[in-house]
Structure 1
């Protein structure tokens, strides 16, 4: 019977029909899969086996600031029915704990099919979020595309990135990249166990948005992550440079000062209450001069020995095909909440385009003049949002794409231009808008992708990601031919209705900012 179902399933795939009505092969109401740590019991949802809150690492509380370790093995099936805790953070996550090394798996078949594996790494910079958002639910992506989907929790903010090496010495030598080491352990779990969930350990794609993409860019230059994934996709998430050891130390010192801990007592932070540590992290960042403390990967000469994409693309991942994406109006997500930014005058504009908003050291007047020449129809508010986007995250994406092209490494670049109709479209194609499209979750709670074009857009982008996971190439029948990015043409897929290819979109902006030294936000 199983073989007949398998044949039927393949026939439907060839015919391009939906798998939604098919029973999941080899699944019971509460399927059990044996992992290297012990058996786990999941549930089924619409023909997809779902395992939530699967432990991949031990409680980090007793080992605060230390590398993760595998959990103590168990023998009785552990229920994997609910999401595990998120890392402690100042965000809106309701379930937080230092015991946070959990992952989630969605699979359309617990068999020997060896499906592509898509591991989504959440955003929230390096400080907030979890793999448990409704936007990241893998049910539709797994069921509609015959792939295995994984999401991950790991240590964030000070718990994952407080650099105490130069203050507290050898016992804390790995503290600046503990959150990255968690991700490595999670990917080792995938390598060792995903075949039992119907996945192919030789076809693992990591993809992530914002901080998730930055974590991926960092792993592409991290020796310990070599071989743990085979394709990559980043969405508005760049990490050109990491924190240098001195800036990271300055931040750790500012944090210790807020804790009233002198340097010779820094080790006491390993036993202080979580709430106290998080409150102290709200102190003003001594490098940026504003906001709470920035946390992120550190050039510690142990885990991370070079900057992710400086001075070039890392050779260790040159063979890995990569999608690099961004949205046209990134900063409308951060700056569009202030309604006054939509009513700016030309007189207001120079005072708004400060280093805090632009993140590079440039006078506003020549930038404004350049934008008025390139886009004479732009309003002052249009220039404000476009210039802040161009100087910040979009530029990081261009730098990474150019570095990949210069090294001959395969990269496909997209720009989301499609605007959600929310707020009359005034927020544009802003940061985060491609999440529900890539994960095929336009109807999920929190999705901004609405209107009759939302699902067709999700079909285009999600199937490109699936194609990348399956074949190492994002081309599929729902898109025009998508060429690899090169320095001669800078080919970019414009994700819009309809989608189209453009050479060097926003080339004037690219040339404008290329003349100004780039500063990775936060580093």
Structure 2
């Protein structure tokens, strides 16, 4: 669930640090071109692209065949008294604001130069006139890392080939973005939780208000996200005030939130804030005045070490949105369908992101059956304080039998990789799609991304989709893992075509793909994208493995 940087798995390489440092700066404001006498003349007075937002004019830059506007504020900096406040609209400015460099990433432990002053958007557009579909992308990163400015998310290729307006952005992360405590209530809004989710909603309101300025159609916004960002697409579509802003959603490898694995319970969140405040010698409201690094480190310290050794029972794997009755009314498996057209995506081998080289959460590599069982038992502790006795043996037996029947690898590492990825990602993605197919009249398409990575990486890992969706697979940082040949270009172009056509009119298609029917669980309606065939149709992959999770009861099944 870590967001892909230049090297995808780690932000700490020299290249990543140099790239982030070079692209992180706050845009400045300059005067308008003196020759311009009207808004129309201003928009065409210079060779560089200009757009008028609701807060003022911005000047972008050319990026090949498209224009890019970097670091455009969509909300006021959430600093000082606005820490833990609902996002406020950006302050207007006079003249023309330079929008040629990215803003700082949201405050975190990994990307250099991160800052609480991070609520900025980036826009790629083929032109500032017209009414193109708008694609808004929510980055992943386990709700605590990442940025919309990472090179993998460069929107130029996606905007050009798809004829789309592409928007990426930052939102608050970690303790600053996800949690709950009533003593942090905002007197203006009454909200006291999930500030990162509130930022995402504010960004969508900003996009709806400003799409026309960048050549977009405010009535045709598609929300796309990966991992934690994929989870956000689903959660935002469930909000009554946000749903009217959206036409369609594309959750990719969505980490659908459930406790105790991927979220704190409200009770544990209250305890966490109170514990951190006491450690820092202040009150919960007083946390607004604590230096950001001290607050981040004290919060992260609560979740260090093995899950079963911590003072809190929930938030065992990640700390996503907390159920607060307002921004998060319940977990996805408990709530109704979003009621919008959906194109859901998962990677064929989600778990190899975590068990392959450069894992963000390294685990011992099992080489024997005894080591495999021990590794699975420790994995199960991430989602349950006391997993049922014999569950590890039950899962290993089921996965080995399915692998043998399907011709998959059945060595200990391969089996654990599949168990890891299916438990945290595939199971709820597929079961929610099946529930939707049974109960909703809205169209739903299912895509499994199957393009293999290169050795020493293996399978088709979690987040392997991003370099192909954005067409950045061939960058020097990405090419060693993903390849950079004609087949990779064709797979990427097909992926872009499918998402762009879905965003345009709801019917995904590509010259490189066959006709793709709406998803039905028992028919060949899952599109497999990747490999020499590029696109084929299949019935739901890994049905036997999913039944093993039904029987396990470890992941909650949709109601």
Length-normalised TM-score, structure 2? 0.81
Distance 1:27 1:431 in 2: 45
**Alignment correspondent of 1:437:** 468
Report the Cα offset of residue 144 of structure 1. Answer: 2.1
Distance 2:220 2:301 in 1: 43
**Alignment correspondent of 1:331:** 351
**Alignment correspondent of 1:502:** 538
Taking a change above 3 Å as real, the CA distance of residues 208 and 26 of structure 1, as seen in their structure-2 partners, is farther
**Alignment correspondent of 2:445:** 412
Report the Cα offset of residue 252 of structure 1. Answer: 4.2
Q: Conserved in 2, the CA contact under 8 Å of 1:126 and 1:211?
A: yes
Q: Conserved in 2, the CA contact under 8 Å of 1:163 and 1:248?
A: yes
Q: Conserved in 2, the CA contact under 8 Å of 1:121 and 1:209?
A: yes
1:346 counterpart = 2:374:
no
**Alignment correspondent of 1:456:** 490
1:207 counterpart = 2:216:
no
Report the Cα offset of residue 342 of structure 1. Answer: 5.2
1:88 counterpart = 2:107:
yes
**Alignment correspondent of 2:330:** 306
**Alignment correspondent of 2:433:** 401
User: What are the ranges of 5 or more consecutive residues in structure 2 without an aligned counterpart?
Assistant: 1-42
1:379 counterpart = 2:411:
yes
User: What pairs with 1:487-498 in structure 2 (closer than 5 Å)?
Assistant: 487-489=521-523, 491-497=525-531, 498=533
1:129 counterpart = 2:146:
yes
From 287, 291, 297, give the equivalent of 2:321: 297
- Aligned residue pairs total 488
Distance 1:233 1:334 in 2: 23
Q: Conserved in 2, the CA contact under 8 Å of 1:110 and 1:197?
A: yes
Distance 2:45 2:343 in 1: 33
**Alignment correspondent of 1:421:** 454
**CA deviation map 1:86-145 (0-9, x unaligned):** 211112x2232211110001111111x211111111010111111000111111111222
Report the Cα offset of residue 302 of structure 1. Answer: 2.1
Taking a change above 3 Å as real, the CA distance of residues 343 and 181 of structure 1, as seen in their structure-2 partners, is closer
**Alignment correspondent of 2:13:** none
**Alignment correspondent of 1:251:** 269
Report the Cα offset of residue 389 of structure 1. Answer: 1.7
Distance 1:255 1:311 in 2: 26
Taking a change above 3 Å as real, the CA distance of residues 486 and 261 of structure 1, as seen in their structure-2 partners, is same
**Alignment correspondent of 1:479:** 513
Where 1:219 maps in the other structure, the secondary structure is helix
Distance 1:245 1:235 in 2: 19
Distance 1:163 1:215 in 2: 17
Taking a change above 3 Å as real, the CA distance of residues 518 and 346 of structure 1, as seen in their structure-2 partners, is closer
Q: Conserved in 2, the CA contact under 8 Å of 1:442 and 1:450?
A: yes
**CA deviation map 1:76-95 (0-9, x unaligned):** 1100010012211112x223
**Alignment correspondent of 2:90:** 71
From 276, 279, 283, give the equivalent of 2:294: 276
**Alignment correspondent of 1:217:** 234
Distance 2:263 2:482 in 1: 40
1:390 counterpart = 2:409:
no
User: What pairs with 1:351-370 in structure 2 (closer than 5 Å)?
Assistant: 351-356=374-379, 359=383, 361-362=387-388, 363-370=391-398
User: What pairs with 1:155-194 in structure 2 (closer than 5 Å)?
Assistant: 155-165=172-182, 174-194=191-211
251-260 vs 42-51, which moves further? 251-260
Q: Conserved in 1, the CA contact under 8 Å of 2:366 and 2:375?
A: no
Distance 1:89 1:342 in 2: 28
1:519 counterpart = 2:555:
yes
From 256, 272, 297, give the equivalent of 1:239: 256
Where 1:104 maps in the other structure, the secondary structure is strand
**Alignment correspondent of 1:13:** none
204-213 vs 349-358, which moves further? 349-358
**Alignment correspondent of 2:157:** 140
Where 2:446 maps in the other structure, the secondary structure is strand
Distance 1:154 1:346 in 2: 43
**Alignment correspondent of 1:10:** none
Taking a change above 3 Å as real, the CA distance of residues 137 and 366 of structure 1, as seen in their structure-2 partners, is same
**CA deviation map 1:307-334 (0-9, x unaligned):** 3x223543xx31x211111112112111
Q: Conserved in 1, the CA contact under 8 Å of 2:474 and 2:484?
A: no
Taking a change above 3 Å as real, the CA distance of residues 149 and 169 of structure 1, as seen in their structure-2 partners, is closer
Taking a change above 3 Å as real, the CA distance of residues 262 and 54 of structure 1, as seen in their structure-2 partners, is closer
Distance 1:327 1:240 in 2: 18
**Alignment correspondent of 1:97:** 115
Report the Cα offset of residue 445 of structure 1. Answer: 5.0
1:260 counterpart = 2:281:
no
**CA deviation map 1:387-429 (0-9, x unaligned):** 2222221112112212221222321111122211242xx4210
402-411 vs 132-141, which moves further? 402-411
Where 2:370 maps in the other structure, the secondary structure is coil
Where 1:106 maps in the other structure, the secondary structure is strand
Distance 1:356 1:163 in 2: 27
**Alignment correspondent of 2:20:** none
User: What are the ranges of 5 or more consecutive residues in structure 1 without an aligned counterpart?
Assistant: 1-24
**Alignment correspondent of 2:167:** 150
Report the Cα offset of residue 197 of structure 1. Answer: 0.9
**CA deviation map 1:216-249 (0-9, x unaligned):** 1111212231212111111111325478997233
Taking a change above 3 Å as real, the CA distance of residues 211 and 340 of structure 1, as seen in their structure-2 partners, is closer
Taking a change above 3 Å as real, the CA distance of residues 282 and 197 of structure 1, as seen in their structure-2 partners, is same
Report the Cα offset of residue 295 of structure 1. Answer: 2.7
